[in-house]
C-alpha cells in the first residue's frame, strides 16, 4: 500500500497478477481490493498494468473519484514513469532523452495475441540510464496509453524488454517481464493537490542484474 484515503488507493501490483477482468475465481488486484473493503463498497479501476508488469496502480473508492481520474488519464495530465531492463542496443546515447512517435503494429505472427492494436498513435520519451553486458536500464515516460505500448515500441527498435517473448526477447526473467510502473503523478480528485506515488523496484531485479544497480564509486 502506497497511499489511501476515502477517495483513492494506490498499491504496488506484483508481476504475474492481473489488474482486473479475469474469469470468476481467478485472483486479480481488483478482487483482492474488493475483499479488503466492506461488502458493496465501490472499487473503480482507473489505471492498469499488464499481468506480467509490476508497479503502481491507482483505484478509486467513489464513483466521483473514478470519473475525475479517468478524465485526467484521458486528458493526459497524469505523468507516468516506467523503468525497464532491455536487451540489445538502445538506439540513443547514454543519458540522452529521445522522443518516439509511432503507429503501433502487431508483432509478426501474432495476429490474435491481444497485443497493441495496429495503427494506434503512441508517444514515449525514453533514455538509457546504464548499460552492462547485453542489457540496459531504461527510463520511459509515455504520454499516450496504448495497450502494450512500451513493449511494442522497444521490441520494434531491437531492444525488447527482458522476459518479453511476445516482442522478441530471448532472455528469461525471474517473474513476469522487466517492466515496472515506477511513478504516477496526478491531481487528487477531491482536493486538487498534486500527488506523486512511487513503487520501489522488485528485489528480483537487483538480484538478477546487480551491476545495473551498483552504486558508482568515487
d(Cα 79, Cα 204) in Å, to the nearest integer? 26
Please tell me the predicted confidence (pLDDT) of residue 107: 54
Please tell me the predicted confidence (pLDDT) of residue 22: 87
d(Cα 55, Cα 72) in Å, to the nearest integer? 19
Note down the domain range covering 110: 3-213
Q: Is the pTM of this model over 0.75?
A: yes
Please tell me the predicted confidence (pLDDT) of residue 148: 92
Does residue 63 lie within any of the structural domains? yes
Please tell me the predicted confidence (pLDDT) of residue 36: 87
CATH number of 192's domain: 3.30.2350.10
Please tell me the predicted confidence (pLDDT) of residue 86: 97
Does residue 218 lie within any of the structural domains? no
Q: Considering only CA atoms, which of 95, 158, 104, 160 is closest in space to residue 126?
A: 95
Please tell me the predicted confidence (pLDDT) of residue 105: 66
Please tell me the predicted confidence (pLDDT) of residue 113: 42
Please tell me the predicted confidence (pLDDT) of residue 103: 82
* Domains held by the chain: number: 1
Does residue 66 lie within any of the structural domains? yes
Regions in the chain scoring below 50 on pLDDT: 109-117, 216-218
Q: How far is it between the farthest Cα atoms of the chain?
A: 56
Handedness of CA 168, 174, 176, 177 (dihedral sign): negative
Please tell me the predicted confidence (pLDDT) of residue 112: 44
Amino acid at each position: 500500500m502506497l497511499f489511501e484515503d476515502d477517495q483513492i488507493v494506490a498499491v504496488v501490483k506484483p508481476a504475474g497478477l492481473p489488474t482486473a477482468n479475469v474469469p470468476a475465481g481467478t485472483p486479480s488486484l481488483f478482487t483482492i481490493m474488493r475483499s479488503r473493503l466492506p461488502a458493496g463498497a465501490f472499487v473503480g479501476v482507473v489505471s492498469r498494468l499488464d499481468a506480467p508488469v509490476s508497479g503502481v496502480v491507482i483505484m478509486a473508492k467513489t464513483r466521483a473519484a473514478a470519473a475525475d481520474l479517468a478524465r485526467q488519464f484521458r486528458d493526459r495530465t497524469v505523468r507516468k514513469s516506467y523503468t525497464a531492463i532491455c536487451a540489445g542496443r538502445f538506439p540513443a546515447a547514454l543519458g540522452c532523452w529521445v522522443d518516439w512517435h509511432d503507429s503501433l503494429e502487431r508483432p509478426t505472427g501474432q495476429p490474435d495475441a491481444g497485443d497493441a492494436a495496429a495503427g494506434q498513435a503512441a508517444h514515449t520519451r525514453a533514455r538509457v540510464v546504464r548499460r552492462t553486458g547485453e542489457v540496459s536500464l531504461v527510463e520511459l515516460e509515455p504520454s499516450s496509453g496504448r495497450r502494450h505500448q512500451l513493449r511494442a515500441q522497444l521490441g520494434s527498435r531491437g531492444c525488447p524488454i527482458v522476459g518479453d517473448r511476445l516482442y522478441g526477447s530471448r532472455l528469461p526473467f525471474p517473474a513476469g517481464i522487466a517492466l515496472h510502473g515506477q511513478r504516477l503523478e496526478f491531481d487528487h480528485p477531491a482536493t486538487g493537490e498534486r500527488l506523486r506515488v512511487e513503487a520501489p523496484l522488485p528485489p528480483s531485479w537487483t538480484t538478477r542484474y546487480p551491476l545495473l544497480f551498483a552504486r558508482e564509486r568515487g
